[in-house]
Structure 1
Amino acid sequence: MVPSAVPVPSLLGARAAADPGHEALAVAGSGRLTLRDWDEHSDAAAHGLMERGVRRGDRVALVFGARDWIAYAVCWMAVLKAGAVAVPLSDRQARPELTSMIEHCGATLTVHGAGPPPVPGALPAGELRGRPEPPPVELDPLDLAQILYTSGTTGAPKGVAATHANLTSPPVHPRRRPFAHSRHLVHAFPIGTNAGQVMLLHALTAAPTVVTLPLFTPARFAALVEERAAGTVFVVPAMAIELLNARVHERHDLSSVLLLGSAAAALPPPVAARLAGAFPSATVVNYYTSTEAAPAQTIMVFDPDRPGALGRAAGGSALKIATADGEPVPPGETGEVWMRAAAHPRAYYGERSDTFRDGWVRMGDLGRLDADGYLYLVDRESDVIKSGAFKVSTLQVEAALHEHPSVAEASVFGVPHPVMGMAVAAAVVPREPVTQPVTLPQVRAFLGERLAAHELPTRLLCLDTLPRNAAGKVVKRELRRLAEEHIGT
């Protein structure tokens, strides 16, 4: 029987002993990492950390880019083996952001990948060398293991702390490893995100080799899927939209993909339907969770009869729609989405918050449950547009915009209005070649057959790209700024 609460390095040690030559992680054109190498190299790096004064409970910031996934995986495991707390950060973040996060968590050391130091005093990963033997540190499953900073689309990022037990739950049975239908699992999630950390844990526990690439482009990603005959592929909705708009399925054989997972944000139903056509052998699955709630999640196999559903709670987690006080509301009624992991919940590092309550996590979303227990999102609580007497769901308007034949990407947000309080605004990226005009009157006419009058945009921005953070989520405060600038021109 597999224990449910063990330190993360114990999983690596056990699997490396049983299957040392298994290729756990690979970066296209940049190398590979077997379980044996991961275990041995992280032992040596852990001694290197300890020789530099890192002690149990210390926070160590890890600033790496996508080309450095292998070095990052070694350093991340080394930090845990030394009894310290890993703080994964992306090198795509600006120095002021990195400095703020490093100071917030009180990191005693910053380790970085290739290139110049991201902050003064950072240590290159290549200099972490020590004795090639297991460090003499006794780990407790309830020890803090990592701090992940949220994406900060609506405010300042917060550090989300997770224990070893949280990261190793629910347990994986050695004979029933996830994604056993695949020899390769391909993704392009950045380091420093919850989705990226899930992929790193898959490299540790799942059946296939986890493969990523230094830089995501639709063509490179599709070529990698074809080259590796990947059975499993993970994307965020923004990547899915780019793949579809680039029509990569017309130039690459993607028939090996049996599972296409989308994470980090809700997948618009029109996009899910197009993905099912572009990946002819794949089951399209939407995973819903958050950095705060993981490993609690809902899982939904795309169902044309329930196109907007995000599934039911999975993996022993729990789901409810409730008031702000946590009191459940009846099926069909809109309320706040709450989730709870089976055990070992996360928390904000260094601060208290009503986001966490008795093991439950307020997701920051509004939603409802149908009679069968399927979750439907209404909107992000902070994104709902209160226009006059109406509340407008930006998700619903975005889904309708994705049906427009000339719209490649869309994001909907509220802007101030002197009478209504807030008005609906939309930003779109036109698809090339444009098949229909993308103007405000034309878009309102198109949406008028699909939405109520109060849901129609009163302002339209046509952009080359949507502003996104490192996790691929649209930064709506930047869209509001662009809209304000547009009014002034």
Structure 2
Amino acid sequence: MPRSDPPLTVPELLAARAAREPERPAVLDAAGTTLTFGAWHARSLRLARALRARGLPPGGRVALPWGEDWTGYAVAFCAVLAAGGVAVPLSAALPDRQAAATLHRIGAAAVLHPAGHVPPAGPWWTADPDTLAAVDDTAELPPVRAGDLAQIVCTSGSTGTPKEVAATHGNLCHGHRTDPRPRRYAHSEAMLHAFPIGTNAAQMMLIEALTAHPALLCAGRFDADGFCALIERHRVGTVFLVPATAAELLRSGAADRYDLGGVHLVSSSAAALPPAVARGLAGAFPRAVLVNYYTSTEAVPAQVSMIVDPARPDSLGRPADPRDLRIADPDGRPLPPGETGEVWLRSDAPPRRYAGDPDASAAVFRDGWVRMGDLGRIDASGHLCLVDRESDVIKSGALKVSTLRIEAALLEHPAVAEAAAVGLPHAVMGAVPAAVIRADRPLDLDELRDFLAERLARPELPVRILPVDRLPRTETGKPVKPEIRRLLQAPADARPTPEPTPEPAPIDDPFARPFLGALGPTDASAPEPDPSHPRTEARPDVRQ
């Protein structure tokens, strides 16, 4: 989508929408609270003036540890930006030690929090919006420019140490207009998601609400029956999921208990969409188009997307401009189609960067390009096909084994509800595959191994399969690979049942946009793999 001219800021987008449609619902939550555009704008300006009166300087970084109060969060977020500050969304579930470490890393000036939340003490000041002193509603606010820093969010840390990603107003507002015609998702009166506050996916949904046609309906913590009940009650036309929530919805049987016929678009992002889950979604939402999106916290708004095609299970589609995707060698030199290498994306938006880490920024952000941390290839039709996360590929002897292929094969088994594969150290091979699974019915591991032997090459077969009651995951459903590796390496009598892993900071989850790019030709007659060589092509991996 062409860039607005001149570039816009978040306060400008909200002010324009409030002026045109002050009574139109903007944000709704599962409890029935509604925030109109007029109220959103007025409340955020009052709070912005209170923040300035409290001493927030332009560029001051304000942490926002929020729970499930989406309307309150929307006001607080826009207030920080209207005051000239930088919003840092955080999960309210962060342990104090992690929260304090994050606040120190970002150089927080203040913590703005909902009533009842007690943030950690530090050199920052803290406030509940309701307790800030009333101020003159005519007090002048500082100018906000498109090049000003607007927010800092964090990657999930699902495969390593999380990083803080900084975005300007120009980056957040790229592709938006104050009065677009038509507005996005015009087929819907409500668009539903269950992304936790503090994640990149949730942030992008909030920005999307400023200009999209439907109201943003926020489900809070995902519950399959509650989610489907909201779809039925509000006649939701657009649904945003990640593979973990999609799989949970299908396993619950909730799709059979509620009317989901009003859904016309289902968006999947944030992780690989296994073929078994894609088939299930097609059945649960028979009138909907299923679209897969690939981006990252670092790369937004650059993305690759396509309508999910069963004939191309390893394809993610193409960017709007083929020149915005490349496969490169470790030195960043482009590779020809068909060769596997590192995936890079770009867009014409102002780029993001890592906050306070110029060395890491230099390694990932280069001349408008963003290094995605994935391995992939471009096929003959220009579609991106992913192999795996670069850090997850198992280097076993002279072979590179894809954990995504192993996980997809495990999830084809009717008893396997969740699966995550990793590489374990091996004295001879360097590393060998292993997997953790959660079954939702009795399962014979020998039968499962026979099942996998029919679908995977010998080097891809897990040497160890560990059943658990719960997989350690981030708040948005990504398996925490370091913790899974520790579970597999621990002695059998020392393996605890993993508790849900709290998100150390917002996740890299992208927001989804309607599918706009043209699809290329499909090829349902791809050759079968040589059984003597493991295929390294993998299922799509859409990261947030």
Q: Same fold (TM over 0.5)?
A: yes
Of the three residues 239, 260, 276, the one matched with 2:266 is 260
Per the alignment, residue 360 of structure 1 pairs with 369
Partner SS state of residue 41, structure 2: helix
Query: Would you say 1:19 and 2:21 are equivalent positions?
Result: yes
> How far apart are the structure 2 equivalents of 1:267 and 1:425?
20
Of the three residues 463, 468, 488, the one matched with 2:473 is 468
Per the alignment, residue 188 of structure 1 pairs with 194
* CA shift for structure 1 position 315: 8.0
Query: Would you say 1:169 and 2:178 are equivalent positions?
Result: no
Per the alignment, residue 244 of structure 2 pairs with 238
Per the alignment, residue 419 of structure 2 pairs with 410
More relative contact order, 1 or 2 (CA 8 Å, 6+ apart): 2
Partner SS state of residue 255, structure 1: coil
> How far apart are the structure 2 equivalents of 1:250 and 1:136?
52
The amino acid that maps onto 1:295 is P
Per the alignment, residue 76 of structure 1 pairs with 77
> How far apart are the structure 1 equivalents of 2:320 and 2:336?
21
> How far apart are the structure 2 equivalents of 1:250 and 1:367?
37
Partner SS state of residue 73, structure 1: helix
**CA 1:163/1:317 → structure 2, altered by over 3 Å: closer, same or farther?**
farther
Partner SS state of residue 122, structure 1: strand
Partner SS state of residue 61, structure 1: strand
Contact 1:117 1:123 in 2 (8 A): no
> How far apart are the structure 2 equivalents of 1:127 and 1:315?
49
Partner SS state of residue 210, structure 2: helix
Partner SS state of residue 15, structure 1: helix
**CA 1:181/1:60 → structure 2, altered by over 3 Å: closer, same or farther?**
same
> How far apart are the structure 2 equivalents of 1:317 and 1:90?
37
Per the alignment, residue 110 of structure 1 pairs with 111
Contact 2:240 2:267 in 1 (8 A): yes
> How far apart are the structure 1 equivalents of 2:400 and 2:465?
19
> How far apart are the structure 2 equivalents of 1:150 and 1:134?
37
- Residue deviations 1:369-398 (CA, integer Å, cap 9, x gap): 111111111000000011122111001111
* CA shift for structure 1 position 30: 4.8
* CA shift for structure 1 position 226: 1.1
Aligned residue pair count = 484
- Residue deviations 1:440-487 (CA, integer Å, cap 9, x gap): x22221011111001001111112221111232110111111112245
**CA 1:40/1:487 → structure 2, altered by over 3 Å: closer, same or farther?**
same
Per the alignment, residue 425 of structure 1 pairs with 434
Contact 1:7 1:140 in 2 (8 A): yes
Contact 1:46 1:135 in 2 (8 A): no
Contact 1:170 1:315 in 2 (8 A): no
Query: Would you say 1:485 and 2:490 are equivalent positions?
Result: yes
> How far apart are the structure 1 equivalents of 2:196 and 2:321?
25
What's the % identity of the aligned pairs? Answer: 51
Per the alignment, residue 43 of structure 2 pairs with 41
> How far apart are the structure 2 equivalents of 1:471 and 1:134?
40
The amino acid that maps onto 2:417 is A
> How far apart are the structure 2 equivalents of 1:292 and 1:456?
33
Superposition TM-score, scaled by structure 2 size? 0.86
> How far apart are the structure 1 equivalents of 2:340 and 2:39?
50
Of the three residues 154, 160, 180, the one matched with 2:159 is 154
Per the alignment, residue 453 of structure 1 pairs with 458
Contact 2:301 2:349 in 1 (8 A): no
For 1:376-387, list aligned pairs within 5 A. Answer: 376-387=385-396
The amino acid that maps onto 1:102 is L
> How far apart are the structure 1 equivalents of 2:323 and 2:9?
21
The amino acid that maps onto 2:85 is A
Mean CA deviation greater in 166-175 or 120-129? 120-129
Per the alignment, residue 532 of structure 2 pairs with none
The amino acid that maps onto 2:83 is A
Mean CA deviation greater in 273-282 or 35-44? 273-282
> How far apart are the structure 2 equivalents of 1:162 and 1:317?
23
**CA 1:487/1:229 → structure 2, altered by over 3 Å: closer, same or farther?**
same
Contact 1:316 1:342 in 2 (8 A): no
Partner SS state of residue 310, structure 1: strand
* CA shift for structure 1 position 136: 2.5
> How far apart are the structure 1 equivalents of 2:294 and 2:260?
25
> How far apart are the structure 2 equivalents of 1:348 and 1:487?
40
- Residue deviations 1:162-213 (CA, integer Å, cap 9, x gap): 0000000013452221101000001000111110011101211111001012
> How far apart are the structure 2 equivalents of 1:286 and 1:74?
30
Unmatched tracts of structure 1, length 5 or more: none
Partner SS state of residue 336, structure 2: coil
Per the alignment, residue 344 of structure 2 pairs with 338
**CA 1:130/1:370 → structure 2, altered by over 3 Å: closer, same or farther?**
farther
Query: Would you say 1:224 and 2:227 are equivalent positions?
Result: no
The amino acid that maps onto 1:205 is T
The amino acid that maps onto 1:451 is L
> How far apart are the structure 1 equivalents of 2:320 and 2:37?
28
* CA shift for structure 1 position 24: 0.6
Superposition TM-score, scaled by structure 1 size? 0.96
Partner SS state of residue 490, structure 2: helix
* CA shift for structure 1 position 125: 2.6
Of the three residues 286, 291, 316, the one matched with 1:310 is 316
The amino acid that maps onto 1:400 is A
Partner SS state of residue 205, structure 1: coil
* CA shift for structure 1 position 322: 0.9
> How far apart are the structure 1 equivalents of 2:444 and 2:401?
22
> How far apart are the structure 1 equivalents of 2:14 and 2:309?
37
Contact 1:4 1:168 in 2 (8 A): no
* CA shift for structure 1 position 116: 2.9
Partner SS state of residue 425, structure 2: strand
* CA shift for structure 1 position 317: 8.2
Of the three residues 384, 390, 399, the one matched with 2:399 is 390
* CA shift for structure 1 position 438: 4.0
> How far apart are the structure 2 equivalents of 1:272 and 1:138?
46
> How far apart are the structure 1 equivalents of 2:404 and 2:374?
11
> How far apart are the structure 1 equivalents of 2:321 and 2:175?
7
Per the alignment, residue 321 of structure 1 pairs with 327
Partner SS state of residue 454, structure 1: helix
Contact 2:322 2:382 in 1 (8 A): no
> How far apart are the structure 2 equivalents of 1:82 and 1:76?
10
Partner SS state of residue 102, structure 1: helix
Per the alignment, residue 129 of structure 2 pairs with 125
